[in-house]
Amino acid sequence: MAELMDDVIDIIAEKARIDRAKLELTARLDELNIASLDVVEIVFALEERFDIQMPYNANSTQREFETIGDVVRAVEGLVGEPA
Amino acid sequence: MNRVAITGVGVISPIGQSFATFTQNLFNGHCGIGPITTIPTERLLVKIAAEVVGFDPATHFEPRRIGMLDRVAQFALVATREAMARSALPLDGDRAETTACLIGTGVGGLNTLDDSFLKLYGQGAARVHPFTIPRLMVNAAASHITMEFGITGPAYSIASACSSAGHAIGHAFHLVRSGVVRAAVVGGAEACITVGTMKGWEAMRVMAPDTCRPFSKTRTGMVLGEGAAVFVLETLDDARARGAEVLAELAGAGMSSDAKDITAPDVDGGVRAIRAALRDAGLAAEDVDYVNAHGTGTAANDQTETQSLHRALGARARQIPVSSSKSMFGHALGAAGALELAATVAALRSCTVPPTVNYEETDPLCDLDYVPNTARSAPIRAALSNSFAFGGLNAVLAVRAV
């Protein structure tokens, strides 16, 4: 799964234009100051890359993922699911 | 400078296909949001919208003419007929060329575009229908109105996404007030509940899965709507001279640009537009008795708009009702500002504040009086209608009782 994790972090780094070294698994998304439209594009890119459907609503007060690690685990879970 | 009267209004909406029905449902808190019926939904994640259910073009147009009219132009024409019938605006002699026609629309004939591209790219068709271009062009609605009524003055469409109608009405108001024209047929129309458009909105992750709950802590986003509202504007002097019923005075229009972000709303931009509208109308914050909010039901808009109202109206913001009619007829994008001006005029005329329906729970970030779920009587002498668009383009209209 290390490859998947690298892919997820690559996508976040590219779309949010953040230095990859800052994207540790414990890094919090709200503290990385990723603009809302960038988050939407990251979710889209992850869905395209892994052929998954990620539940994400920009209006939801309940955060689906809070850290980089949460995003990686969410993708892992969805990739593992039968289509 | 002329004072500007509204002497006609017509509405095609998810909560009524006339101004009278619209007003009745608005005050009853009737929610026009439901499962999508006009397009296939198998490929959609969001399967709800506020549709103009039961709109049958055959009852309004000759079969030959329907072929030339996208749904958005059909809505605009039918709303205009009601507005013109109510106003009885004279268009004889030189009145035709001193009357303007401005229609706000966000995207134009999207049903036509979607159908054509499905056939072309999806089904391998060799050609598309020869009316594809005249049906989909963004000015089609305005042009058909000029042709049906013989309006020969300035006519065009104005596009600023969700503020299109607000800008069109504000601009027409300035044309009449300054004397460039004596009258204007103006409003907004939108009909873009198509599979392509819905997928685009889904991808933005701002759509509510179940319903629209503006300003409620439990809100989960916007719901797409459709429809049209059209007004007849003329100088107050002309209206009085010919004994026309004056529904309200259109008193001011304020416009601003955020110049910041292509989708995120901005407190300062909203404040500038509200203040500009008050200045334009010669109103003080204390004169405002009601605000029909943009109130989309997204987390970002409702909280930002609340802050803009606090900053622009000061202490008055807490003293007056602020409601979102989108909770009932969804977000009709380019038509929204016109439908909401119709709601604002209805409120002014009946001294009744339309509610924000589907409201469940107080959000500490949205701390105004949103008139939850039930309409309310209130003295309304002057009111504002807010439109804040993607692209950071804002338009606020001020109306006053006469």
Number of domains in chain B: 2
The yes-or-no verdict on residue A1 having pLDDT over 80 is no
Q: A61, B217: Cβ pair inside 8 Å? A: yes
The whole-number pLDDT of residue B235 equals 98
Instruction: ipTM value, please give it.
Output: 0.83
Q: What are residue B346's phi and psi, to 5 degrees? A: -60, -45
Enumerate residues 234 to 273 of chain B having a beta carbon within 8 A of any beta carbon in chain A. 261-264
The whole-number pLDDT of residue A82 equals 63
Q: B205, A37: Cβ pair inside 8 Å? A: no
Residue whose structure tokens are 């629209």: B212
The whole-number pLDDT of residue A36 equals 83
| Residue finishing a domain among B184, B209, B241 | B241
Name residues of chain B where pLDDT drops below 50: none
* Residues of B taking part in catalysis: 162, 294, 331
The whole-number pLDDT of residue A62 equals 58
The whole-number pLDDT of residue B249 equals 98
The whole-number pLDDT of residue A58 equals 86
Q: Summarize pLDDT for B37-95 with one digit per residue, the tens.
A: 999 999 999 999 999 999 999 999 999 999 999 999 999 999 999 999 999 999 999 99
Q: Which residue in the set A35, A37, A57 is minimally distant from B221, CB to CB?
A: A57
Domain range for B269 is 252-400
Examine the domain organization and report whether B29 and B88 are in the same domain.
yes
**Distances from the Cα of B111 to the Cα of B34, B58, B73, B147, B300, angstroms:** 20, 17, 11, 22, 29
Superfamily in which the A2-80 domain is placed by CATH: ACP-like (1.10.1200.10)
Mutate to test the interface with B, among A57, A60, A61, A65 (most CBs of B within 10 A): A57
User: Residue B276 belongs to a domain with what CATH number?
Assistant: 3.40.47.10
The whole-number pLDDT of residue A65 equals 81
**Distances from the Cα of B153 to the Cα of B117, B189, B239, B336, B378, angstroms:** 35, 20, 19, 25, 39
Which residues does chain A have within 8 Å of residue B261's beta carbon, measured at their own beta carbons? Answer: 35, 37
CA distance linking residue B383 with residue B247, whole number of Å: 14
Q: Summarize pLDDT for B19-35 with one digit per residue, the tens.
A: 999 999 999 999 999 99
Examine the domain organization and report whether B143 and B16 are in the same domain.
yes
Residue count (chain B): 402
**Encoding tokens for residue B371?**
């008139």
Mutate to test the interface with B, among A42, A43, A59 (most CBs of B within 10 A): A59
The whole-number pLDDT of residue A2 equals 83
Examine the domain organization and report whether B256 and B237 are in the same domain.
no
**Do B258 and B395 touch, CB atoms closer than 8 A?**
no
The whole-number pLDDT of residue A61 equals 58
Is B247 contained in some domain? no
Q: B203, A59: Cβ pair inside 8 Å? A: no
The whole-number pLDDT of residue A81 equals 75
| Residue finishing a domain among B175, B208, B241 | B241
Q: Is B315 on the interface with A (CB under 8 A)?
A: no
Q: Where do the domains of chain A lie?
A: 2-80
Examine the domain organization and report whether B236 and B264 are in the same domain.
no
Is B246 contained in some domain? no
Examine the domain organization and report whether B159 and B257 are in the same domain.
no
Q: Summarize pLDDT for B93-105 with one digit per residue, the tens.
A: 999 999 999 999 9
User: DSSP 3-state assignment of B244?
Assistant: coil
Q: Is B127 on the interface with A (CB under 8 A)?
A: no
**Do B231 and B220 touch, CB atoms closer than 8 A?**
no
